[in-house]
């Protein structure tokens, strides 16, 4: 079975400081990894994904994530946080296999950027 762990329920960071939202995963085979963001009363919006290739993935709104196979991690990062980045962030994992594969989401991390 595949799983995702987001160890921090909430991350607080000052505006302008770098931010990191942590994610570790467990999956059989090669992982496909995603980050989605959810604003209040909205659905999830795609930020970035890792399928294969370069371990550093760049996504929307200045976010990036680094795939680390040995640590089974896919942490989300941004060099300079904005107040508008405050939202709920979900890491998700799937894997290549027979048939159609489902995506497993983590429990989410609330990011609070303090002005």
Partner 1 sequence: DAGVTQSPTHLIKTRGQHVTLRCSPISGHKSVSWYQQVLGQGPQFIFQYYEKEERGRGNFPDRFSARQFPNYSSELNVNALLLGDSALYLCASSSQGGLAKNIQYFGAGTRLSVL
Task: List contacts with partner 1 (CB under 8 A).
Answer: 4, 32, 34, 36, 41-46, 49, 51, 90, 92, 94-97, 99-108
| DSSP SS3 for 60 | helix
Residue 85 CB, shortest distance to partner 1, in Å, is: 19
**Is the Cβ of residue 13 or residue 32 nearer to partner 1 in the bound state?**
32
How far is Cα 20 from Cα 96, in angstroms, rounded to an integer? Answer: 27
Provide the sign of the torsion angle of the four alpha carbons 10, 23, 86, 65, taken in this order: positive
Closer residue to partner 1 in complex, CB, 82/88: 88
Instruction: For residues 21 and 2, give the distance between their C-alpha atoms in angstroms, rounded to a whole number.
Output: 20
- Nearest approach in angstroms of CB 50 to partner 1 is 10
């Amino acid at each position: 079975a595949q799983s995702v762990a987001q160890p921090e329920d909430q991350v607080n960071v000052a505006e302008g400081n770098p931010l990191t939202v942590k994610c570790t995963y467990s999956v059989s085979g090669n992982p496909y990894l995603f980050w989605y963001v959810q604003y209040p009363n909205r659905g999830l919006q795609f930020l970035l994904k890792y399928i294969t290739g370069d371990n550093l993935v760049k996504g929307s709104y200045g976010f990036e994530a680094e795939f680390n196979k040995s640590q089974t991690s896919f942490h989300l990062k941004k060099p300079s946080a904005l107040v508008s980045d405050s939202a709920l962030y979900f890491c998700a994992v799937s894997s290549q296999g027979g048939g159609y594969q489902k995506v497993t989401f983590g429990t989410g991390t609330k990011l609070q950027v303090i002005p």
